[in-house]
Structure 1
Amino acid sequence: MVDNDFGGDPDGLVSLAHILLRSGPDMTVLVTTSPLDPGLAEAAGADPATTAGRGAELAGQLLELMGLSGVRVITGAEATGVTPEQVSPAARAIAEESSRFERTTILCGGPLTNIAAALRLDPPLARRAMLVWVGGTLAEADRGEYNSDTDLDAATEVLASGIPLVRIPSEEYSRMTIAVDAVKNELAAVSAVGSWLAERLLDVPPFVQLGGTLTLGDSVLVAFLPGVDAPARRVAPGTAVHGQVDGAALWDDLMRQLAAQGS
């Protein structure tokens, strides 16, 4: 399962494309979308009340471009928090889909809104699933970073649930940088999917000044995809990952996967 705020920073879409490219034919993938911080949404010129829906639209466009008709995209809560309002179709889908399997891996690159709601609906989910979350800092799991701070209540609730958790803090995912020139010259040229992703990455909001590099923080999730042979996969639940994900290797693999898919 992949849960992310696809309506925000497009690195989530790059990560999703890579995850889908690396998913084997016997792997079931469910995609769910989470909300953005309202202040960030407004600064980017987006409607804060529809960011999860916008994320679902973008994820759907990516799936269509990749020719993947069998992957479901479910819209999550449009507001953060731990009230009945957050029990969304995405939360229900996470709980229901996980009940079909003995073990489930949830890869979350955004706030934990949908995961917290799914755990409230189905507390045994904490025993069936492992959560890999891009959030927090090395020092603090539930604060000091965008994903944790966007829904602090959800983060607190999930961390207290007992679900096995591998956490990727800001100190780790901020290392996942790529040159803007590589996005323009490599990603944009490798395939139609790569071109679409490059357009999303280079279309920065007004308050962002495009420099020489971009951060593809959510790409760290690819290293934890079941079946992917990477050192990060051997990290035990309950730890925070730091210095164990090779961003350059992930980029090279993405280029190979896109080239193969586009040929």
Structure 2
Amino acid sequence: MGRPRIRVVVDNDLGGDPDGLVQLAHHALSPSVDLRLVIGSHLRPGDPFDSSDATADNAAALAREVLGLAGRDDVPVLAGSNVGLTDRRTPIRSAAAEALVAEAMRDDVDTPLYVCAGAGLTELASAWLIEPRIAERLTLVWIGGPEHPGLASPPPGAMPIEYNLLIDVLAASVVFGDSAVPVWQVPRDAYRQTLVSFAELQLRMAGQGPLGARLFAALDGVRTTAARHGFDLGQTYALGDSPLVLLTALQSGFEPDASSSRYVLRDTPAITGAGQYQAVPGARPMRVYTHLDCRLMVEDLFATLQLHARR
């Protein structure tokens, strides 16, 4: 395969929905990726997942476990802040935010850097507030935000503020509205496309060594817990964080890009305190993904786990 083509920093709430653990394992096993740093990020207060697991420290511990099963103990893992921003001009100076700045400001590499965020944007907003020049040196790929007017409608019974955005609305507002960070967004209508069946997961993930078994147990545990609380997940699960792999590791060979998925270009909107978009005509362009190549994403995940289990 040669040397990796891209650098990746993963920033995810790995103590919450275990789709982030699947995404992390997939990135860790992707040969085109130089995985530079994993940041465990916090969940919001009152999250439906067990509040004892909502900390950035727990997310970092789970990251180390999954990376160990993937044979990637070489990847640095840091816990981010356990709280969101309180002031749009004041960063939270965590070791994770400082490490993100250091990676972005390196001048000894020329591979593109992607910050792959599957939760809130506390660490990236803090990193930009510490050093605004990072905006010229990375691309944010973010799973989060509600549907854009004219592109999609919210699903029935949708939360007033999209789940990942709600973790730290102010941080997202800083990244979108104040910074010049390039954004590739996978909003709610796009990440809800990433359905796999539990039958697929049981047959093609659960038996793929200790890593596959651990990932399946985490996903199946959500179904069991939901049923215990009277909620039926049905027979599918959304691997909603896996587009972070699709749009980075699985880019095309020639003219590298996420060419098998579709997006539209929009002026980057501001984000209000109520978690809604506010149009800013003439703002920097952003990508809003509308259709994801779930076949490539899921088939590569299963094949990658199988190959790893054979080693």
Q: TM-score, normalised by structure 2?
A: 0.76
Which has the larger displacement, 199-208 or 70-79? Answer: 199-208
Count the aligned residue pairs. 256
**SS of equivalent to 2:237:** strand
Larger relative strand fraction: 2
**SS of equivalent to 2:212:** helix
Deviations for 1:163-188, whole angstroms, at most 9, x for unmatched residues?
11111100000010111122222210
The structural deviation recorded for 1:189 is 1.0
Residue in structure 2 matching 1:75, options 76, 79, 84: 79
Residue in structure 1 matching 2:11, options 3, 15, 19: 3
The structural deviation recorded for 1:28 is 4.1
CA 1:94 to 1:178, structure 2 compared with 1: closer, same or farther past 3 Å? Answer: same
Query: Of the two, which has the highest radius of gyration?
Result: 2
1:217 equivalenced with 2:226 (yes/no)? no
Which has the larger displacement, 97-106 or 215-224? Answer: 97-106
Residue in structure 2 matching 1:35, options 39, 42, 63: 42
- Counterpart-to-counterpart distance in 2, 1:218 and 1:184: 19
- Counterpart-to-counterpart distance in 1, 2:261 and 2:197: 26
- Counterpart-to-counterpart distance in 2, 1:95 and 1:9: 27
**Preserved contact between residue 98 and residue 104 of structure 1 (Cα < 8 Å):** yes
- Counterpart-to-counterpart distance in 2, 1:179 and 1:164: 34
- Counterpart-to-counterpart distance in 2, 1:36 and 1:28: 23
**SS of equivalent to 1:162:** coil
The runs of at least 4 consecutive aligned structure 1 residues that moved more than 6 Å come to: none
Task: Give the aligned partner of residue 61 of structure 1.
Answer: 65
1:144 equivalenced with 2:192 (yes/no)? no
Larger relative helix fraction: 1
Task: Give the aligned partner of residue 255 of structure 2.
Answer: none
Structure 2: stretches of 5+ with no match in the other structure: 1-8, 150-159, 253-257, 266-284
Task: Give the aligned partner of residue 25 of structure 2.
Answer: 17
CA 1:12 to 1:137, structure 2 compared with 1: closer, same or farther past 3 Å? Answer: same
**SS of equivalent to 1:22:** coil
Task: Give the aligned partner of residue 241 of structure 1.
Answer: 289
Which has the larger displacement, 105-114 or 206-215? Answer: 206-215
The structural deviation recorded for 1:262 is 1.4
**SS of equivalent to 2:132:** coil
The structural deviation recorded for 1:209 is 3.5
Structure 1: stretches of 5+ with no match in the other structure: none
The structural deviation recorded for 1:45 is 2.7
The CA RMSD over aligned residues, in Å, is 2.2
- Counterpart-to-counterpart distance in 2, 1:123 and 1:11: 31
